[in-house]
A and B are shown apart, each in its own frame.
Chain A
Amino acid sequence: MDRNFKFILLTCMLLAVIGASACIGGDKDETAKGDSFGENSQDLVVGISSDVNNWYLDKFADGDARFVWSQVYETLVRLDSNLNITPGLAESWETPDNGTTWLFHLRKNVTFHDGTPFNSDSVVFSYSNKSYVRQAVLKPIKSVEAIDNYTVKFVLQKPMPLPFYLTHVAWPIMGPGCLDKAGNFVKPVGTGPFKFESQTKDQEIVLTRNDAYWGNKSLLDKVIFKVIPDPSTQVMAFENGELDMIIKVPEYDVKRLEAKKGIQVQRKLSTFTDFLQFNCDKTPFNDTKIRQSVAYAIDTNTLVNGVLNGIGKPAGGRPYSPNMMYSDPDLKTYSQDLDKSKALLKEAGWEDSNGDGILEKDGSPLNCTLLVSKGAWAARHTLMAQVVQEDLRKIGMNVEIQVLDEGAISKLEGVGNFGMILRSGYFVWGPYPKHFFIHHSKSPYSHYHNETYDQLVDAADSTIDPQKQKEFYYALQAFVIKEVPAFYLVHEEKVVATGPSVKGFVITAEDPWLDLSGVYLERK
């Protein structure tokens, strides 16, 4: 065979492979501008970081999946943009016995996307024993039964403020049409303002307007969620006009985008707070004075203004966001005071006896590890951990940062082989202060054991009287500030950027939630 011919043949084969694969992918989006939008197009293109891996109630919807879920599915109880509780698929609710039994009166004339009516049966279906929420967060539910077509009764094992729990978008109402006759999941069927149209794995999810929606119908024809895992790529695709909206703008891009003509950047305190969780079972953090000294050593203002470009609010130990219910506005938080911090360490018996800058006690140096997860918050947490390390070095504490995957962290956590863990957003799905449970002795994440604290949490979660709840949660906040089972660093801010075409968008405090009601496009 002639050599040149061989070479040409080989090249043609390679090109054929590429061409064939490209053809399999189908030719879309040929231009660098992505989808070429028509002038009157009402198709909103939104960038998200992760795909929807699950649409059904038997599993938890994690990551950005919930932004998509919140368009298709709805909950019995809703929150407005400032986290106030409002009716959702339930028009009203009541408890005849102070929180053990709850009656929900359902909205009439609501239909699912497949045309079937929404009624009590669909609520019973959504909160059956098969639902993950019954096996996880709402274990105390004894039974869910239909009293009549539009009244549902929840019976609990103990009094609970159930309506707060039912606001979470990850346990919404699903239509029985989600399943086929054999009981296998077919497609998402909800009552939301948008219907599921198609999903291309790890690429895009297309939703179309639900014209039979019971509320204000959307002004958009479609919402197309594009899966782009890399935040930098998301921002560049947005700037290039390939996306209309990005719902998690990286901190380092906010100021730049705010300065750009036509781009709107909206910011709002979310329900998430980053915190340092201490291992209170082991030295050095089994001593309250050491935990307090850490609280005095860390400058949370630097964390926000230095590391996070001013995005977020310094927490100074405040357990949860000021926009959450029962957040005590007069709570005395920590501000950096190195003298106080050093004095507390001295009181606890730690001194630098060999002059190396690291304190010792009984011959052991003041060393500890700080675990940081490689997960969704890795980028900000790694930088924050470095500031913490630097601040604690000033008071004579040597911190070793370990950035690990969740598996490695859970193993170290299980055997108690750590000093601190940098965490974010545990049990903060709405305004309700469920987060306090994380330091309860029964919590799988707890590394703190205090009977008084446990009793306060149990009492707070077992009452539905707002006044009593307020008293308990105020007491819990004061307790966390004084005893420091964890030190709270930064209240996160939600940052959403919209392109010049997008009109009528209003950011909400709830995370992860995306409210597209009133949004429309004016393409130029």
Chain B
Amino acid sequence: MELKRWKIKLKMKCLRASEIKRSISENDRKVRRISMWKYIAKRLAMVLVVISGVTLVSFVAMYLAPGDPAELIALERYGQDLDASQIESVREAEGLDAPVYFQYFIWLDHLLHLDLGRSIITSDDVLEEILLKLPATIELTVAGLLISLLIALPIGVLGALQKNTLLDNCCAFISLIGISIPNFWLGILLIWLFSLTLHIFPSYGYGSLNHLALPALTLGISMSSITARLTRASLMEVMEKEYILAARARGFDEYTIVLRHALKNALLPVVTFAGMQLGYLLGGAVIVETIFSWPGIGKLLVDSIFARDFSMVQGCVLFIAVLFSLSSLAVDILYAVLDPRIRYDMYD
């Protein structure tokens, strides 16, 4: 019986391989490659448009935010004992008296010369400051994403396979808790457990994988809840498809069907969501960065916004927009890896 099943499996595998070979000819592959590069080039051009838009919007938003930027900058520089003349001198020195569109074009002109300027508040070189924080941000983002997938995928798959059972309800409950717990509270809870009680990880700081564990876990857990529910829903939908029914009819066991046939197709919306989450992580991990003293771009951006540090805000926004656009492009390319039916000339 076992031998027979194994033979059927082998036959199926050979059949599927020959089918794919037939459907994708050599010529077809060439077309796919060319259209992929065309698509990437187009998307990179779009990135430039997106960056221009994002930086313009952030510039205008900063300009429209409540409070006089010159006064806030003067407060940072001179403390509380201010007078109108100091505010005016800051306005003049920093070019804040020029129209906003003119200020923006000046910034763009500098950008074309790869000069992001200096921080209005600290006089630090903006590019240097951002490059200093970038490794920490990428490290935390990727680790957080990886942990979230490691948690979410098994929970999602288990939930889909054991739907409406006690196990599924437990998974749903865990996900609900994960969604409900605020990041800052979860972070403090993890510090209490792993640092104060178990003495496994340091409670704050940056510089080693040990330091990365808790902030990445905090981000990963909070992200994994939605991803798990999404995986479950998507997998349940795929499991209703005819080819799954056919696989069942051929006698494949449930886990083989899930891992070999269903999961890959079910992952498409999950990959999309993970891509979106990546963008959120790049700029939105501020709370986690604050709790764990993690020197990333998110916190730098928020601090700069409060201080009306225009040049630093623009620099951070630019970098986050670039990273977001590139991660979104990477997700789109990953689609084709996950599903060979997706063709880039579809976008033309």
CB distance from A500 to the nearest CB of B (A): 16
Given A32-B202, A226-B293, do A60 and B135 touch, yes or no (CB 8 Å)?
Answer: no
The reply on A202 being an interface residue by CB < 8 A is yes
Q: Find out whether the CB atom of B136 lies under 8 angstroms from the CB atom of A229.
A: no
Within the assembled complex, what's the spacing in Å between the Cα atoms of A330 and B192? 47
Contact of A136 among B78, B142, B291 (CB under 8 A): B78
What is the minimal beta-carbon distance from B242 to any residue of chain A, in angstroms?
22
Question: B202 near A410 (CB under 8 angstroms)?
Answer: no
**Is B99 among interface residues, defined by CB-CB distance under 8 A?**
no
Q: Given A202-B295, A226-B293, A408-B67 in contact, is the A22-B122 Cβ separation under 8 Å?
A: no
CB distance from A236 to the nearest CB of B (A): 5
Contact, CB under 8 Å: A22 / B208: yes
Q: A132-B78, A226-B205 are in contact. Are A32 and B67 (CB under 8 A)?
A: no
* Cβ contact within 8 Å between B293 and A406: no
Total A residues in contact with B, Cβ cutoff 8 Å? 60
| Contact (A136, B86) CB under 8 Å given A53-B122, A407-B65, A427-B80 | yes
Task: Return chain A residues, CB-CB under 8 Å to B306.
Answer: 374, 405-407
Report the bound CA distance from A404 to B67 in whole Å: 11
Q: Are A17 and B138 in contact (CB under 8 A)?
A: yes
Whether, in the assembled complex, B209 has its beta carbon less than 8 Å from a beta carbon of chain A, the answer is: yes
**Interface assignment of A186: CB less than 8 Å from any CB of chain B:** no
Q: Which residues of A contact B139 (CB under 8 A)?
A: 17-18, 21-22, 25
Residues of A within 8 A of B194 (CB): 32
Contact B135 A21 (CB under 8 A): yes
Is B104 located at the chain interface by the 8 A CB criterion? no
- A408 to B68 Cα, complex, angstroms: 9
Given contacts A60-B79, A406-B72, contact A29 B205 (CB under 8 A): yes
Question: Given A132-B78, A406-B75, A411-B66: A30 and B210 within 8 A (CB)?
Answer: yes
* CB < 8 Å neighbour of A6 from B76, B142, B203, B337: B337
Measured between beta carbons, the chain B residues less than 8 angstroms from A27 are: 207-208
B65 to chain A, nearest CB (A): 6
User: Which residues of B in the span 50-101 have a Cβ within 8 Å of any Cβ on A?
Assistant: 65-69, 71-72, 75-84, 86
Q: Is the CB of B68 within 8 A of A228?
A: no
B83 near A444 (CB under 8 angstroms)?
Answer: yes
Stretch at the interface among A110-118, A237-245, A345-353, A391-399: A237-245
Cβ 8 A contact of A427, one of B81, B133, B207: B81
Are the CB atoms of B290 and A230 closer together than 8 Å? yes
Chain A residues within 8 Å of B293, by CB: 202-203, 226-230, 233
**Complex formed: what's the CA distance from A136 to B82 in Å?**
6
Cβ-based interface call for A14 (8 A): yes
A409 to chain B, nearest CB (A): 8
Tally of B interface residues using CB under 8 Å:
64
A59 contacts chain B at the CB level, 8 A cutoff: yes
Q: Shortest CB–CB separation between residue A417 and chain B, in angstroms? A: 11
Complex alpha-carbon distance, A176 and B129, angstroms? 26
Q: Is B211 engaged at the interface, CB distance under 8 Å to the other chain? A: yes
Q: With A407-B67, A407-B306 known to touch, is A33 a contact of B199 (CB < 8 Å)? A: yes
Contact B290 A240 (CB under 8 A): no
Of B80, B200, B210, B292, the residue contacting A29 (CB under 8 A) is: B210
Q: Does B47 contact A (CB under 8 A)?
A: no
- List which A47-81 residues lie within 8 A (CB) of chain B: 53-54, 59-60, 62
Is there a chain A Cβ closer than 8 Å to B107's Cβ?
no
A31: chain B residues at CB < 8 Å are 202, 210
Q: Which residue on chain A has the smallest CB distance to residue B337?
A: A6
Contacts of B145 in A (CB 8 A): 14
Known: A21-B139, A203-B295, A444-B83. A242 touches B209 (CB 8 A): no
A29 contacts B71, CB within 8 Å? Answer: no
Complex partner residue of A232 from B71, B188, B206, CB under 8 angstroms: B188
Assess the B79–A236 pair: CB atoms within 8 A.
Answer: no
Chain A residues in 8 Å Cβ range of B257: none
Interface check A256, CB cutoff 8 A: no
Q: How far is the CA of A410 from the CA of B76 in the complex (A)?
A: 13
CB of B202 within 8 A of CB of A34, answer yes
Residues of B contacting A28 in the complex (Cβ-Cβ under 8 angstroms): 207-208
The answer to whether the Cβ of A524 comes within 8 Å of any Cβ in the partner chain is no
Answer yes or no: A182 CB below 8 A from chain B CBs: no
Interface string of B288-326 (1 = CB under 8 A from A): 001111010001100000101000000000000000000
Q: Is B41 an interface residue (CB 8 A)?
A: no
Which of B66, B201, B308 contacts A32 (CB under 8 A)? B201
Q: Residue B295 contacts which of A201, A410, A444 (CB distance < 8 angstroms)? A: A201
Q: Judge if B191 is at the interface, Cβ distance under 8 Å.
A: yes
A170 in the interface (beta carbon within 8 A): yes
Q: Complex Cα distance A416/B200, Å?
A: 53
B146 within 8 A of A: yes
Which residues on A sit within 8 Å (CB–CB) of B133? 201-202
A18-B142, A25-B208, A240-B196 known; A136 and B202 CB under 8 Å? Answer: no
Determine the residue in chain B with the shortest Cβ distance to A170. Answer: B79
Contact B208 A30 (CB under 8 A): yes
When the two chains form their complex, are residues A410 and B121 in contact, meaning their CB atoms are under 8 A apart? no
Inter-chain CA distance A15–B146, complex, in Å, is 9
B335 close to chain A: CB less than 8 A:
no
A8 at the interface (CB under 8 A from B): no
CB within 8 A of A53: which of B78, B121, B187, B188? B121
Q: Which of B68, B138, B299, B308 contacts A21 (CB 8 A)?
A: B138
Does A24 sit within 8 A of B, measured CB to CB?
yes
Which A residues from 475 to 515 make CB contacts under 8 A with B? none
Contact of B76 among A60, A136, A414 (CB under 8 A): A60
B139-161: contact bitstring with A at CB < 8 Å (1 yes, 0 no)?
Answer: 10011011000000000000000
A11 to B194: give the CA distance in the assembly, Å.
26
Q: Could you tell me the distance between the alpha carbons of A408 and B66 in the complex, rounded to whole angstroms?
A: 5
Known contacts A14-B142, A32-B202, A33-B199; A26 and B207 CB within 8 A of each other = yes
Tell whether B195 is near chain A: CB-to-CB under 8 Å.
yes
A-B complex: 9 closest residue pairs judged by Cβ atoms: A407-B67, A21-B139, A408-B66, A60-B79, A202-B295, A136-B78, A25-B207, A411-B66, A21-B135
15 additional A-B pairs beyond A25-B136, A239-B196, A407-B72, beta carbons within 8 Å, are A6-B337, A15-B146, A18-B142, A18-B212, A34-B205, A53-B121, A60-B77, A60-B79, A226-B205, A233-B188, A236-B192, A240-B195, A411-B68, A414-B68, A445-B80
25 example contacts (A-B, Cβ-Cβ < 8 A) are as follows A14-B142, A21-B142, A25-B135, A27-B208, A32-B194, A32-B201, A59-B77, A60-B79, A132-B79, A136-B79, A202-B293, A203-B207, A203-B295, A226-B205, A230-B290, A233-B187, A236-B191, A240-B199, A242-B203, A405-B67, A407-B69, A408-B66, A412-B66, A444-B84, A445-B80
Interface residues of A (CB under 8 A from B): 3, 6, 14-15, 17-19, 21-22, 24-34, 53-54, 59-60, 62, 132, 135-137, 170, 201-203, 226-230, 232-233, 236-237, 239-240, 242, 374, 404-412, 414, 426-427, 444-445
